[in-house]
């Protein structure tokens, strides 16, 4: 037999059999993540499944992220339902303002390399950046896992993505992620895992890797996994419980693992990218969109709402005179309270607010129209998010462009889509 | 297991994402599919929901249900009276959500089906035979996984978990163990 991919190794361990691509296996789940968007339905399924207890309350985590803060009485009632359920069953709830479910799982040391995480949020794949198998499911699979601790999975084939070449300083992780979406397409990785490594991997910080894994689902990927290296260990140090360190396995594929496809991406050849409305795979070089007026700039979400993203934004604004263009709303939503705390401590949010930025509650924010600022009719929005489907932000007449934090900040300065390399003081 | 459906084809295109099936922002008022069904596919065609008849079959292109994993995308289709979705391919979360709620996902060549065609679908072994009564041709869907068939046989994951108590026992039963 040939060697195994990371997915085959993790799913073999979790199903206690020799799992190979194409097999259907039943796995033990290490962590079950529910959001306020998916958990009310999951609780309905739990009740209808005659669930009486969680398989292991310590392995279930709920987060109030999509409706943060709740904008309607109906949504506030969803929150109360989740709180009541969690209290009755002993599970942990992270509150409104604490942040996005899987971001919290990472910060709290609940996402352990080599483990299997399911979350009722398609962007749960983000956690693959930490060397684990994380995938999104619906509310019914979540409920079944809450009761049984199990999930069935078809062991995915793997696309091996090698990031090679010298990374230019002007290339954001988002640019690499968008380039992968362009190359692979909206369903090019359907039913498959992306496994990412290569000589350039060490130039991508853990936060960068979270961005790339996050966009995996926009290619249809079931998981998007990086191996574990010093950056992973550095991030997890002080976060993982000692017992979880003991569980920490070597996450790497075998040299003779069988891949469905090998993709080598030369990151030195990548330049700033942008997704045009209304699909994330509608990716072009930013030069092709330069000059398009924007009325809203959104910095946030599970793609672009982390500490380094806000640092990039402030850097661009300060280098450009510290002024937001007239007629532009700059909306800033940290992905979590930890991110918000750090940005408050180091003065970043203070500086951005002083320039006129609108700082909102940590969580998913304006990304999917469930909370936060909704764009007006006909507005153009440039965003650090991952989806730009029509009506995604709650207004079907708005047009959403997706780009890096740096490119979004450049648009905030000029009021138009702008190549960030043309701003003063840019080193390319 | 016996599945036999007959209905009118209602066509949509490629890459119909879960937000197009039902917009996330509609979920601020309700997650009740009986309420949300009036907004089914509103972004694609505001008149679509009102034109759906009980028993219609949704016929799509590639990558149906991509994007969000939200389960209302499957339950709202069922609430509208549609029992099956035919598509060239499905996103993985939608495919699971459909099966888990007893909505039949049929992965097959839909390129020759036209709006309004009368379509008959029936399960033959682990594949669905799709006949166009209007055009007289027949295609077969790709095989459903045994565990997917077992869940459909229960009418959905709710009954499957009630009956078997664990996913492992459900999987074993699906292999006839």
User: Structurally, how many domains does chain A consist of?
Assistant: 2
Whether the per-residue pLDDT at A428 is higher than 80: the answer is no
Mark whether A307 and A408 lie in a shared domain: yes
What pLDDT is recorded for position B176?
A: 80
Residues of A in contact with B100 (CB under 8 A): 138, 140-141
Token pair belonging to A59: 């392995």
Residue A63 inside a domain? The answer is yes
Where residue A247 falls among pLDDT bands split at 50, 70, 90?
low
* Helical segments of chain B, H only: 18-21, 33-36, 48-51, 72-79, 92-100, 146-153, 157-164, 167-174
Residues of A in contact with B103 (CB under 8 A): none
Average pLDDT on B137-149 reads 97
Mark whether A199 and A308 lie in a shared domain: no
Domain that holds residue A141: 6-267
Mark whether A228 and A368 lie in a shared domain: no
Candidates B20, B101, B167; nearest CB to A144: B167
Mutate to test the interface with A, among B13, B18, B26, B27 (most CBs of A within 10 A): B27
Whether the per-residue pLDDT at A162 is higher than 70: the answer is yes
Shortest distance, CA A368 to any CA of chain B (angstroms)? 6
> Cβ A138–B100 below 8 Å, yes or no?
yes
Pairing mode, strands B138-140 and B127-132: antiparallel
Q: Which residue of A has its CA nearest to B44?
A: A390
Residue A123 inside a domain? The answer is yes
Tokens 């699909």: give the residue: A279
Mark whether A236 and A303 lie in a shared domain: no
Mark whether A103 and A130 lie in a shared domain: yes
What pLDDT is recorded for position A246?
A: 55
Residue A414 inside a domain? The answer is yes
In 3D space, the residue among A129, A141, A96, A111 whose CA is nearest the CA of residue A240 turns out to be: A111
Average pLDDT on A167-186 reads 97
Tell me which DSSP letter residue A203 carries: G
> Cβ B166–A151 below 8 Å, yes or no?
no
Mark whether A251 and A380 lie in a shared domain: no
Residue A101 inside a domain? The answer is yes
Residues of B in contact with A140 (CB under 8 A): 71, 97, 100-101, 156-158
Number of CB pairs, chain A paired with chain B, less than 8 A apart: 145
Residue A253 inside a domain? The answer is yes
Mark whether A45 and A171 lie in a shared domain: yes
Mark whether A372 and A261 lie in a shared domain: no
Mark whether A217 and A281 lie in a shared domain: no
Token pair belonging to A201: 């991997």
Whether the per-residue pLDDT at A318 is higher than 90: the answer is yes
Token pair belonging to A395: 């207004």
Give the CATH number of the domain where residue A27 resides: 3.30.499.10
> Cβ B91–A140 below 8 Å, yes or no?
no
Residues of A in contact with B31 (CB under 8 A): 40-41, 78
Integer Cα distance of B160 and B172 in angstroms: 12
Final residue belonging to a domain, choices A267, A292, A324: A267
Q: Domains in chain B, please, with CATH?
A: 4-142 (3.20.19.10), 145-177 (no CATH)
Candidates A38, A222, A391; nearest CB to B43: A391
Final residue belonging to a domain, choices A245, A267, A289: A267
Token pair belonging to A15: 């199903």
Residue A428 inside a domain? The answer is no
Average pLDDT on A88-102 reads 98
Mark whether A170 and A70 lie in a shared domain: yes
In 3D space, the residue among B137, B60, B140 whose CA is nearest the CA of residue B98 turns out to be: B60
Residues of B in contact with A389 (CB under 8 A): 17, 19-20, 43, 67
Mark whether A252 and A168 lie in a shared domain: yes
Integer Cα distance of B134 and B116 in angstroms: 9
> Cβ A368–B25 below 8 Å, yes or no?
yes
Whether the per-residue pLDDT at A394 is higher than 60: the answer is yes
CB contact A284 to B (< 8 Å) = no
Mark whether A393 and A282 lie in a shared domain: yes
Whether the per-residue pLDDT at A250 is higher than 90: the answer is no
Question: Mean pLDDT of all residues in chain A?
Answer: 96
Residue A50 inside a domain? The answer is yes
Residue A109 has, within 13 A of its CA and on its CB side, a CA count of: 15
Residue A29 inside a domain? The answer is yes
Final residue belonging to a domain, choices A267, A299, A322: A267
């Amino acid at each position: 037999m040939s060697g195994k991919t990371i997915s085959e190794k993790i799913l073999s361990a979790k199903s206690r059999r020799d799992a190979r691509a194409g097999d259907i296996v039943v796995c033990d789940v290490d962590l079950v993540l529910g959001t306020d968007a998916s958990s009310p339905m999951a609780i309905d399924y739990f009740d209808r499944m005659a669930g009486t207890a969680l398989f292991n309350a310590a392995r279930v985590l709920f987060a109030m992220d999509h409706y943060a803060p709740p904008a309607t009485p109906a949504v506030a009632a969803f929150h109360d339902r989740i709180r009541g359920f969690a209290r009755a069953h002993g599970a942990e709830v992270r509150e409104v303002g604490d942040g996005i479910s899987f971001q919290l799982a990472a910060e709290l040391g609940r996402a352990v390399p080599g483990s299997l995480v399911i979350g009722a949020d398609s962007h749960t794949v983000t956690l693959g950046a930490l060397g684990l198998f994380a995938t999104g499911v619906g509310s019914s699979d979540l409920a079944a896992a809450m009761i049984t601790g199990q999930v069935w999975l078809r062991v995915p084939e793997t696309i091996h993505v090698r990031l090679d070449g010298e990374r230019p300083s002007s290339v954001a992780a988002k640019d690499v992620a968008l380039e992968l979406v362009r190359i692979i397409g909206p369903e090019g990785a359907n039913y498959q895992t992306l496994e990412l490594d290569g000589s350039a991997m060490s130039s991508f910080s853990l936060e960068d890797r979270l961005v790339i894994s996050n966009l995996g689902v926009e290619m249809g990927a079931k998981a998007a996994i990086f191996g574990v290296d010093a950056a992973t260990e550095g991030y997890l140090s002080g976060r993982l419980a000692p017992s979880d360190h003991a569980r920490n396995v070597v996450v790497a594929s075998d040299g003779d693992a069988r891949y469905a496809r090998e993709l080598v991406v030369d990151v030195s050849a990548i330049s700033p990218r942008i997704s045009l409305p209304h699909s994330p795979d509608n990716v072009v070089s930013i030069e092709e969109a330069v000059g398009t007026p924007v009325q809203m700039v959104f910095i946030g979400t599970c793609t672009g709402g982390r500490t380094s993203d806000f640092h990039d934004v402030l850097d661009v604004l300060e280098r450009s005179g510290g002024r937001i263009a007239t007629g532009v709303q700059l909306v800033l939503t940290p992905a979590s309270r930890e991110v918000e705390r750090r940005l408050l401590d180091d003065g970043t949010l203070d500086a951005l607010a002083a320039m006129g930025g609108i700082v909102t509650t940590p969580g998913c924010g304006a990304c999917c129209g469930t909370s936060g600022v909704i764009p007006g009719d006909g507005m153009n929005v440039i965003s650090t998010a991952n989806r730009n489907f029509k009506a995604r932000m709650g207004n079907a007449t708005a047009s959403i462009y997706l780009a890096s934090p740096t490119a979004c900040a450049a648009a905030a300065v000029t009021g138009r889509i702008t190549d960030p390399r043309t701003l003063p003081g840019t080193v390319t | 297991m016996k599945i036999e459906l007959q209905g009118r084809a209602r066509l949509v295109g490629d890459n119909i994402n879960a937000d197009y099936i039902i917009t996330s922002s509609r979920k601020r008022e309700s997650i009740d599919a009986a309420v949300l069904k009036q907004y089914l596919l509103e972004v694609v065609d505001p008149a679509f929901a009102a034109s759906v008849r009980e028993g219609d079959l949704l016929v799509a292109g590639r990558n149906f249900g991509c994007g969000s994993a939200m389960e209302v995308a499957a339950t709202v289709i069922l609430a509208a009276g549609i029992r099956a979705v035919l598509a060239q391919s499905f996103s993985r979360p939608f495919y699971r959500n459909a099966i888990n709620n007893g909505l039949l996902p049929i992965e097959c060549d839909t390129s020759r089906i036209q709006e309004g065609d009368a379509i008959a679908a029936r399960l033959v072994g682990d594949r669905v035979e799709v006949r166009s009564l209007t055009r007289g041709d027949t295609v077969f869907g790709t095989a459903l996984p045994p565990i997917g068939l077992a869940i459909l046989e229960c009418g959905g994951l709710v009954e499957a978990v009630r009956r078997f108590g664990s996913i492992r026992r459900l999987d074993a039963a699906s292999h006839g163990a």
